[in-house]
Structures are given as structure tokens and as C-alpha cells.
């Protein structure tokens, strides 16, 4: 009897797997399963998540409501409709606060403009706009970008043109953006855009942090909070990434302050001949 029951359960299991494969194969809009919601369709495409989201939005007219398992609270809306973006980020921005849950998920961002709401957000936005609207800042961004293009981007593209290799342009542009942004904001170029595409700790830590933020959106909050508390798995990965980022920024700010102090001293005590 035990053998017969085991055989029956095994058969049911494999038939269920086969049915799931046939129902989800080549299907863009996921099925909504009892209890599990659309999670099986998401898991079947987790290896190509960004491509899958693009196909899903294209199939659903630009906006899609994802229904997760009923007990996990993973329902969310995906949209790439410009009208929706304008409505949320411009026309009725104050009606869409990020909320405490957003702040907790993106705890690595601290209390910056990307995670706060209300008066604190308005104050930081005014400060940011005042900074980036100046001619000096824009000229500096243009100069840094041109310098990186001529000294790194173009030589790399020129060198790869004669090689029979596949070049990941997304990785190239990500490295370009990282170097230019770090140099502009912190005065320090990590040098991630180079011919050998080095694995620099700071850009790698930023990428790890972004992946953990995404991970927190697709698992129950209680689970990733437990991992954070235990410093295990994705929780440990985030802690290590934040440690690298904090050290990098602290070192960059310390170097900048030392340079300012040195300039002030030279100005107060000019060398005379």
C-alpha cells in the first residue's frame, strides 16, 4: 500500500509539473492560479525578468495588475504609460506618497530625496534644483562626460570593433554612468570603464544593493526582514554592499575636504618670489 501511494503521489506531481509547463510555455500574460495567484508565471520567467516585464506590458497595453499569492501581499501595478507617469510624478504627485513600507524596503537610501515624502522631499528638491540649475554645474557635467567619452568610452569601442566578440552595451553604459556620476558628485572616479572591465568594489556594491531591493519586492516582507536580522543570504549581501558604499563615500568626502583645506591654506599663505 505504501508503494502504491508513493507511486500515485509521484505521478500526480509530475503530471502537475507537465501541466504547469504546458500552460505557461510561450504565454506572456500569466495565469492566475488559486491561492498562488500569478506567482508561478513570474517564477517561470525570473531568469529573464526585465525582458518578460517588457513583453507583459506590451501585451497588456502598457499597464498590468499583477496578483500575487493571497497570503503574501504581493499585488502591484506595472505601467509604462507616459500618461500614467505624468499623472503620478507631476499632475497629482502629492497623492502618491511613498510611505513607510517604501522607506523600509529602500533602507539603504537613508532619508534622501528618493525615499522621503512631504516637506522633507520638497526641501531637498529645492536644494537639488538650485544646485543643478546653475551654469557652473551643467558645464561641469558636460566637461566630465566629454572627458570620459574621449578617454575611455571611444577607445574601448574602437578596440572592440576589430574583435570578434559580443559587447554588452548595457554594462558599458552602466560603467560610464557610474564613473561620471561618482566623479561629478564625489570628485572621485572609480575607473570601472576600462578595457579589461575590472570588477571594482564600489560599482559592484551598488549593483548588489539594487538587486536586493528588487528581491525585497518579490518575497514576503517578514522573510527578507528575518534575513536582514540574521545577516544571512540577501540580508548579509545588503549589509556588505552598504559597508563598501559607506567606506567609498566617506573616503571621497574626506579627500575632497582635504583638497579644500589645502586650497584655503595656499590662498591664505601665497608663495612669493
Q: Which residue has the cell 570628485?
A: 187
Looking at the structure, do residues 211 and 161 belong to the same domain, yes or no?
yes
Quick one: which of 209, 210, 176 has its CA closest to 192?
Answer: 176
Q: Would you state the pLDDT for residue 273?
A: 42
d(CA 126, CA 128): 5
Contacts of residue 174, Cβ cutoff 8 Å, sequence gap at least 6? 203, 207
Looking at the structure, do residues 147 and 264 belong to the same domain, yes or no?
yes
Q: What are phi and psi of 250, to 5 degrees?
A: -60, -40
The CA distances from residue 11 to 3, 7, 34, in Å, are 12, 6, 21
Looking at the structure, do residues 231 and 154 belong to the same domain, yes or no?
yes
Q: Which domain holds residue 34?
A: 2-96
At 65, which helix (H) or strand (E)? strand 63-66
Instruction: Pull the grid cell for residue 67.
Output: 496578483
Q: Tell which of 133, 154, 182 closes a domain.
A: 133
Q: Is residue 73 part of a domain?
A: yes
Q: Is residue 258 part of a domain?
A: yes
Looking at the structure, do residues 64 and 161 belong to the same domain, yes or no?
no
Looking at the structure, do residues 50 and 72 belong to the same domain, yes or no?
yes
Rg (CA), the chain: 25
Q: Is residue 273 part of a domain?
A: no
Looking at the structure, do residues 57 and 73 belong to the same domain, yes or no?
yes
Asked whether the beta carbons of 78 and 64 are under 8 A apart, the reply is yes
Q: Is residue 247 part of a domain?
A: yes
Q: Tell which of 42, 72, 96 closes a domain.
A: 96
Looking at the structure, do residues 81 and 39 belong to the same domain, yes or no?
yes
Looking at the structure, do residues 153 and 84 belong to the same domain, yes or no?
no
Instruction: Pull the grid cell for residue 202.
Output: 564600489
Looking at the structure, do residues 210 and 262 belong to the same domain, yes or no?
yes
Q: What are phi and psi of 255, to 5 degrees?
A: -65, -40
Looking at the structure, do residues 91 and 101 belong to the same domain, yes or no?
no
Q: Quick one: DSSP state of residue 149?
A: I
Instruction: Pull the grid cell for residue 39.
Output: 506567482
Q: Tell how far CA 145 is from the center of its chain.
A: 22
Q: Quick one: DSSP state of residue 61?
A: T
Each of the 273 residues of the chain gets a pLDDT tens digit; together they read 555 555 555 555 444 555 555 555 556 778 888 888 888 888 788 778 888 888 889 888 999 998 888 877 778 888 999 999 999 888 988 888 888 888 888 988 888 888 888 888 889 889 988 988 899 999 999 999 999 999 999 999 988 887 877 888 989 999 999 999 999 988 889 999 998 899 899 999 999 999 999 888 878 888 899 999 999 999 999 999 999 999 999 998 888 877 777 666 665 555 544
Helices 221-230 + 201-217 axis angle, to 10: 140
Q: Which own/partner pairs from 31-39 qualify as long-range (CB within 8 Å, at least 24 positions apart)?
A: 32/67, 35/69, 35/70, 35/71, 36/69, 37/67, 37/68, 37/69, 37/70, 37/74, 37/75, 38/66, 38/67, 38/68, 39/68, 39/69, 39/72, 39/74
Looking at the structure, do residues 87 and 207 belong to the same domain, yes or no?
no
Structural domain total, the chain: 3
Quick one: which of 101, 51, 62, 103 has its CA closest to 85?
Answer: 62
Looking at the structure, do residues 143 and 258 belong to the same domain, yes or no?
yes
Q: Tell which of 78, 96, 114 closes a domain.
A: 96
> pTM of the full predicted structure?
0.72
Q: Is residue 76 part of a domain?
A: yes
Amino acid at each position: 500500500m505504501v508503494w502504491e501511494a508513493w507511486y500515485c503521489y509521484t505521478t500526480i506531481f509530475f503530471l502537475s509539473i507537465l501541466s504547469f509547463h504546458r500552460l505557461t510555455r510561450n504565454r506572456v500574460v500569466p495565469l492566475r492560479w488559486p491561492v498562488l495567484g500569478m506567482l508561478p508565471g513570474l517564477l517561470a520567467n525570473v531568469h529573464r525578468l526585465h525582458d518578460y516585464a517588457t513583453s507583459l506590458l506590451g501585451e497588456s497595453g502598457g499597464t498590468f495588475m499583477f496578483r500575487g499569492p493571497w497570503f503574501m501581499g504581493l499585488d502591484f501595478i506595472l505601467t509604462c504609460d507616459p500618461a500614467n507617469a505624468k499623472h503620478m510624478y507631476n499632475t497629482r504627485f502629492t497623492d502618491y506618497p511613498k510611505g513607510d513600507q517604501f522607506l523600509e524596503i529602500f533602507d539603504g537610501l537613508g532619508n534622501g530625496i528618493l525615499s522621503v515624502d512631504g516637506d522633507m522631499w520638497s526641501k531637498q528638491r529645492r536644494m537639488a534644483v538650485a544646485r543643478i540649475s546653475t551654469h557652473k554645474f551643467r558645464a561641469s557635467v558636460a566637461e566630465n562626460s566629454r572627458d570620459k567619452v574621449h578617454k575611455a568610452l571611444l577607445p574601448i569601442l574602437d578596440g572592440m570593433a576589430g574583435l570578434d566578440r559580443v559587447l554588452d552595451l548595457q554594462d558599458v553604459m552602466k560603467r560610464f554612468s557610474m564613473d561620471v556620476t561618482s566623479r561629478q558628485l564625489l570628485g572621485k572616479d572609480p575607473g570601472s570603464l576600462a578595457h579589461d572591465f575590472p570588477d571594482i568594489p564600489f560599482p559592484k556594491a551598488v549593483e548588489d544593493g539594487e538587486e536586493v531591493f528588487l528581491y525585497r519586492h518579490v518575497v514576503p516582507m517578514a522573510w527578507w526582514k528575518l534575513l536582514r536580522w540574521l545577516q544571512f543570504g540577501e540580508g548579509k549581501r545588503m549589509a556588505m554592499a552598504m559597508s563598501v558604499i559607506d567606506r567609498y563615500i566617506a573616503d571621497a568626502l574626506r579627500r575632497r575636504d582635504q583638497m579644500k583645506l589645502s586650497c584655503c591654506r595656499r590662498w591664505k599663505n601665497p608663495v612669493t618670489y
